[in-house]
Amino acid sequence: MKIFNFNFPFLFFLIILVLDYVINQDGVLIMPFKKEHPDLEGVPPNEIIYPKMFDNLVMTELRVGTDPQTIKLRLEFESYFFYIPGYNSDSKIKFDETKSKTYQEMESYIHDICVSKINKGLFSSDYLYFDKKSNTKYNTSFLLALNTDKDNSGGLIGLNLEDSSTKNFIKYNFINEMKRIGVINDYYFSINYIDDNSGNIIFGDLPHNFSNKYNKKNYKELYVELQSYDLTWKLRLDNIYVAKNENSDDKVNVGNIVTGYFRLEKGIIEGTENYRKILLSSFMSKQISNNLCFEVDTQYYFTYYCKSEVDISKLDNLYFYNKEFDFTFELTYKDLFYKNEKDGNYYFLVVFNNDLEEDYLHCVWILGEPIFKKYQFVFNKNSKRLGIYTSYDNTDDGKIKNNDEKKSWFVENIGFFILIFLLLIIICGLGIILYQYLKLKGRKRKAYELADEDYEYTNSNIN
C-alpha cells in the first residue's frame, strides 16, 4: 500500500520558482545621494542664497578598482556624460588609476572634450562597486578625465539625452553602460528624496514594479517631444498661476504655454524676468510694502527674502498646470521658502533671470529641486517618455507616518515572508516524508520480526 505520495518534480519546480522570485529583484540599481551645502560663512544676508545656492550639488558615491577607491559623482540633467576624474585631473576627489591592477585603457586615443568641465579624457574600464556593503563588482566602461577645469566635486553621472552630434560619446553614458552590463532592466530612472538633504536615485525599472509604496494606477506617462537643438527633459506648462488653493476663484495668471526644463542641479525654481512683477504683485506685495519682505537684485537675478516675523504659511501657492497630464503641480510655502537658521530669515526659492529668455530662445521656467522634492517623476531615456506618480503616499509632506511605517515595512518585505512561508511548507513536507518513511521502515522491520518469530514457532512445532 502507498502510504504517502509527494511529487518531487513539483517540489523542485517550486523551489526554483521561489528562488527565481528573490533573485530577479535584481535589475534595479538604487544609489543613495546626499546634497552638499555651499560654505555660507561670512556671506551677507542678501547674498546667502543668491547666487551661492543656485547650483545644487547632489552627490552619490561608488567604489572603483582593485583595492577599491571611493569616488564622489554629482548628478546632473544638463549633461549626458559619465566620467571619473583620473590621477592627473584637477579634481580634488579623484581615482588613482595607477594603483588599480584591473584598470585598462579601452582606447589609446585621448579625446579632446570641452564639456562638463572635461578638457581631455580617455575611454577606460575597471571594476565598479555600486553597493557599499557588497563585494559584487562589475567590469564597467567610463571616461577617465585626464585634464579638467578645477572641480572639487568629483566625477559626473549625466542624466540628459544624446543627440546625433553626440553619438560618438554614447559609450560614456552611465545609463547606457548599466544596461549593457546587465545591472539594470531598462532605461528608467527616477529621483526619490527621503528628506531635505538626501534620497535615492533609482535606475532600471518603474518604482511600482519593485516597491509597494507606489501604486500603478496612480502612474501617468507622457511622451516628451524633444527638439533637435535641445534634447533635454522638459514639460509643457499650459498655465502658471498664484492662488490660495487650486480651486480658488481669485487666481492670478502668471504665464501661459511655456516650457519647463527639469534641472536637478538647480536648488531653485527659475523663471524669466517678465513674469516677476505679475507673480509678486499677488504673492507678497503687502509684505514688501510693509518692509517685511525685500528684493534682492544682483547683476542677472531678482528674488526676495522675508523677515522671520512674516507668517509665510499665509502666502499664496504657486501652480504649474499641464494639459496632457491633466495635472496641476502645487508648490506651497513649504516648498518655496528656505529658512536660514543663522539669521532666521526666509529666502524665496523662486528666482527671476534676466538672461533666461535669450539663453533658451523662448520663455521658459527651470524646474529645480523644489519640484523634485514634492513629486516623484520617472524618466524613460529610451523612449523619451516622462512619467509621474500623481499620488503615492498618505501624507501631505511625502513622508510616511509612524503608524504607516510598520505596514509599509511589511508590504515592502512581503516577498520574503512569502519565501519563508513556502520554505516552511517545504520543510514540513520533507518532515512528513521523512516521518512516513521512518514509520514505513519501522512497520517493515516489525513485520520481518513477526515473520521470523512465526518461522521459529512453526519450525519448533514440526520438530
Predicted confidence (pLDDT) per residue in 236-277, tens digit: 899 999 998 888 788 888 888 888 999 998 888 988 877 888
User: Is 421 part of a structural domain of the chain?
Assistant: no
User: Is 244 part of a structural domain of the chain?
Assistant: yes
Note whether 309 and 163 are same-domain residues: no
CATH number reported for the structural domain that contains residue 249 in this entry: 2.40.70.10
Predicted confidence (pLDDT) per residue in 133-180, tens digit: 788 999 999 989 887 776 667 889 999 887 655 556 677 889 999 999
**Residue 325 confidence class, pLDDT cut points 50, 70, 90:** confident
- pLDDT above 70: percentage of residues in the chain: 75
Predicted confidence (pLDDT) per residue in 343-393, tens digit: 788 988 998 877 766 555 567 899 999 999 999 999 999 888 999 998 765
> For residue 12, what pLDDT is reported?
46
Note whether 160 and 239 are same-domain residues: no
Note whether 262 and 175 are same-domain residues: no
> For residue 172, what pLDDT is reported?
80
| 415 pLDDT more than 80 | no
Mean pLDDT of the chain: 79
- Cell numbers placing 264: 536637478
| 395 pLDDT more than 60 | no
Comparing 286 with 102, the larger pLDDT belongs to: 102
Question: What is the average pLDDT across 38-62?
Answer: 69
Note whether 67 and 152 are same-domain residues: yes
Q: Which of 345, 364, 391 is the last residue of a domain?
A: 391
> For residue 69, what pLDDT is reported?
94
User: Is 415 part of a structural domain of the chain?
Assistant: no
Note whether 224 and 364 are same-domain residues: yes
Predicted confidence (pLDDT) per residue in 418-447, tens digit: 878 888 888 887 878 887 777 777 666 666
Name residue, grid cell 499641464. 322
> For residue 358, what pLDDT is reported?
58
Note whether 231 and 300 are same-domain residues: yes
> For residue 23, what pLDDT is reported?
34
Predicted confidence (pLDDT) per residue in 194-247, tens digit: 988 899 999 999 999 988 888 898 999 988 877 766 778 999 899 999 998 888
Note whether 56 and 159 are same-domain residues: yes
> For residue 343, what pLDDT is reported?
79
Comparing 59-68, 179-188, 292-301, the range with the smallest average pLDDT is 292-301
Comparing 188 with 394, the larger pLDDT belongs to: 188
> For residue 351, what pLDDT is reported?
87
Comparing 38 with 273, the larger pLDDT belongs to: 273
Note whether 273 and 124 are same-domain residues: no
Q: Number of folded domains in the chain? A: 2
Note whether 91 and 176 are same-domain residues: yes
Domain of residue 302 covers 216-391
> For residue 205, what pLDDT is reported?
93
| 457 pLDDT more than 60 | no
User: Is 3 part of a structural domain of the chain?
Assistant: no
pTM of the entire structure?
Answer: 0.76
How far is 242 from 281, CA to CA, in rounded Å?
Answer: 10
Note whether 163 and 262 are same-domain residues: no
